Amino acid sequence: METNDQYGGHHRSPGRTRFLMAAGAVALTLCAGLATPLGPAPQQARAADGGTKVLTVAVAQSVDSLSPFLAVRLLSTSIHRLTYEYLTNYDAEDNHVVPGLATKWESSPDKLTWTYTIRSDSTWSDGKRATAEDAAWTFRTMMTDPGAATANGSFVANFEKVTAPSPTRLVIKLKKPQATMTALDVPIVPRHVWEKVGDYTKFNNDKDFPVVGNGPFVLTDYKADSYVRLKANKDFWRGSPKFDELVFRYYKDQDAAVSALRKGEVSFVAGSPSLTPAQAASLKREKNIRVNDAPGRRFYALATNPGARARNGEKIGDGHPSLLDRRVRNALFMAVDRKTIIDKVFQGHAVEGAGYIPPRFSQYFWEPSDGQELAYDPAEAARLLDRAGYRKNGDGRRVGKDGEPIDYRVLCHATDPNDKAIGQYLEEWWGDLGIGVTLNCLDNVTDPWLAGEYDLAFDGWSVNPDPDFVLSIHTCAALPATPEETGATDNFICDRTYDELYARQLAEYDAGERADIVRQMESRLYDLGYMNVMAYPNAVEAYRTDQIASITTMPAEAGNIYGQDGYWSWWSAVPADSADTGGDASSTGVIIGIVAGVVVLAGLGALVAVRRRATAEDRE
């Protein structure tokens, strides 16, 4: 017998009492949830307090700022779309421009003066009327205060003068023609509130609630990385939203967000940027959940280093010289099997790539003609390389003009599994051509990208209804002025023909004519072979049909819900009017409480029994 057992008494020791108390405390902590009202899956979008209809959206992205002058992130700008009117909006059906705060607009014959008619039935949430002066003041502030130009300064860079001759008339004078004047994505703010702000770079608009606005919702509360709460604006000129409240709740982990949707804690999950194929597949099997697998607004491409240079002609970086030959670029892209990428990597949640602008923007969508298309044809790719003078050596490796085997460095995002998966396919496909591939997957690709120290890179952009921006990043003007500076270029493309087309589309006010020029630009970009658009990834999102009866997608026929170019989804969402099937919460709670209590007591009883047995041994 061990010495430490020799003197055990059969009375309850203070130590045991303390231990049992501690164990009980831990058990109580674990059961704390039982002391609170149970929250079984709410079968309708209805809060407990007074039947308020709440639409809860799971989000992951932090708010950068709630100031319309500073915010650039998708969530923040989406909130601004909901809380402030813009001059114009985009139709949910097909993205064409529709009235917003402005009901009409026209340009002067010389294309330099735009006159907007401002609606008279829009009021700020503090009761004051929204006027042309609010719009004029917003634009003028951005033109004169660099701090206020932080987020949207590019929209007013070409403005010469902005005036409001009357409450319903806004006049903008331009320095040169600008076709994007019906696509000014700038929240118009109430002058009487914002003119009191001292320093626009420091004011985040996140302290005083409710925030005065005139959109379909009013921002009523915000807690960083916890929630953003908005209330329906009953006086919204287009009509009040059907839900009383819209809440963006934070779920930093997408699996947790999906769990919250399953449970009914949230009505909608967008994914960031998309639900994974596995998540979508599992949610499809759920009753009362609809997965919206919609054509996205992004393109996913492989960009080539075109011999990066600054505007002053100086070379930047060390792109492989063979890529200056268009035949080589075309050969590489003919050796990429887009169908396999869609089927195997995106598992069907994407559309095969073609032109630069995704098909959902139908007026600008372009596809190569049969004779123009660089279809998947590895044999033809090999012949092209041979003709270009890049033949295989004895080891089966293609060699460059310097006699060295060609090995391309492909820049990829370490955080994007698609990049890595496609990279492995490239190793195989281009390996068959005799070309080596070195995948350079980094958390932050910016540095080598800006330094031009890559041969090819995975690239992708979200496209807006007005494509001006994604077109502008391939102009010579976007190049950095010198190698030491940073330009707005995406990947150093500089082509005179493309630039001429770009300038023409920007000065073309006829929508049809402009779309035609844009398609010519896409064709030119395709022929140059600098951008191989492999896919248009879908926006995969899901919502509860027992909470949301109907919701508008954009485009209406098949489009996304989260991150639209307008407020259509949340403004139009109709609450489900299902019966409350989760009404036995209290009885369920009682049952579970009893069961848990029994489990805890049984545990404690077992502990005492074990202890008693031990002391019995001691007594012997």
Q: Tell which positions 245-264 bind other proteins, by CB under 8 A.
A: 247, 249-253, 255-257, 259-260, 262-263
Q: Which distant-in-sequence residues (6+ apart) come within 8 Å of 18 by Cβ?
A: none
Structure tokens at 496: 């005179």
| Site of tokens 């985009």 | 90
Q: Which of residues 515-554 bind other proteins (CB under 8 A)?
A: none
Among 24, 99, 153, 359, binds other proteins (CB under 8 A): 153
Specify the stretch interacting with other proteins by CB under 8 A; choose among 388-396, 424-432, 466-474, 556-564.
466-474
146 near other proteins (CB under 8 A):
yes
Of 141, 172, 144, 145, which Cα lies nearest the Cα of 159? 172
In the complex with other proteins, the residue whose CB is nearer, 247 or 457, is 247
- Tell me if 369 contacts other proteins by CB under 8 A: no
Q: Are 408 and 438 in contact (CB under 8 A)?
A: yes
| Residues 523, 529 contacting (CB under 8 angstroms) | no
State the Cα–Cα distance between residues 301 and 286, nearest whole angstrom.
Answer: 34
* DSSP code per residue over 373-410: ---S-HHHHHHHHHHTT--B-TTS-BB-TTSSBPEEEE
Span near other proteins by CB under 8 A; candidates 210-218, 342-350, 377-385, 442-450 = 442-450
Scan for tokens 């909901």, then name that residue: 82
Which residues 23-62 are close enough to bind other proteins by CB under 8 A? 26, 29-30, 32-36, 38-41, 49, 62
**Residue 443 engages other proteins in binding (rule: CB under 8 A):** yes
Residue from 216, 465, 487, 529 binding other proteins (CB under 8 A): 487
Q: Between residue 196 and residue 255, which ones bind other proteins under the rule CB under 8 A?
A: 201-202, 204, 221, 223-227, 229, 247, 249-253, 255
**Contact status: 16 vs other proteins (CB under 8 A):** yes
Strand 268-269 to strand 54-59: parallel, antiparallel, or no bridges (unpaired)? Answer: parallel
Minimum Å gap between C-beta 252 and other proteins is 5
Q: Binding to other proteins by residue 282, rule CB under 8 A?
A: no
Residues 561-580 that bind other proteins (CB under 8 A): none
Q: Give residues 375-394 in contact with other proteins (rule: CB under 8 A).
A: none
Nearer to other proteins, 368 or 582 (CB): 582
Does 461 participate in binding other proteins (rule CB under 8 A)?
Answer: yes
How is residue 365 written in tokens?
Answer: 């969508």
Least distance from other proteins to the Cβ atom of residue 289, Å: 13
- For the bound state, the minimum distance from the C-beta of residue 620 to other proteins, rounded and expressed in Å, comes to 15
Site string for other proteins, 65-94 (x = CB under 8 A): x-x--x-x----------------------
Q: Which of 24, 27, 64, 288 binds other proteins (CB under 8 A)?
A: 64
**b/e per residue 45-73 (b: at least 16 CB within 10 A):** bbeeeeeebbbbbbbbbebbbbbbbbbee
Q: Which is nearer to other proteins, 16 or 397 (CB)?
A: 16
Are 576 and 545 within 8 A, CB to CB?
yes
Answer for which of 117, 282, 472, 545 binds other proteins (CB under 8 A) is: 472
**CB of residue 64 to other proteins, shortest distance in Å:** 6
Residue choice 354, 450, 493, 576 for contact with other proteins (CB under 8 A): 450
Q: Does 13 bind other proteins (CB under 8 A)?
A: yes
Termini Cα distance of the chain? 11
Which CB sits closer to other proteins, 90 or 200?
A: 200
DSSP 234: T
Contact with other proteins (CB under 8 A): which of 134, 265, 466, 565?
265
> If binding means CB under 8 A, how many residues of this protein chain bind other proteins?
83
Return phi, psi of residue 196, to 5°. Answer: -85, -10
Residue 184 or residue 406: which is nearer to other proteins going by CB?
Answer: 184
Based on the shown chain and the rule CB under 8 A, indicate whether residue 616 belongs to the binding site for other proteins.
no
Which tokens go with 155? 């929209």
Residue of 262, 306, 255 lying closest to 454 (CA atoms)? 306
SS3 444: coil
Q: Cα angle vertex 230, ends 226, 233, to 5°? A: 180
Residues 458 and 410 sit within 8 Å (Cβ to Cβ): yes
Rounded CA-CA distance 113/177 in Å is 9
What whole-number distance in Å separates Cα of residue 146 and Cα of residue 79? 23
CB of 352 to other proteins, least distance (A): 24
Q: How far is the CB of 488 from other proteins (least distance, A)?
A: 6
Answer yes or no whether residue 606 interacts with other proteins by CB under 8 A: no
Between 70 and 332, CB nearer to other proteins: 70
Nearer Cβ to other proteins (269/334): 269
- 3-class SS string, 133-200: HHHHHHHHHHHHCCCCCCCCHHHHCCEEEEEEEECCEEEEEECCCCHHHHCCCCCCCCHHHHCCCCCC
Considering the complex, what minimum distance in angstroms separates the CB of residue 215 from other proteins?
Answer: 21
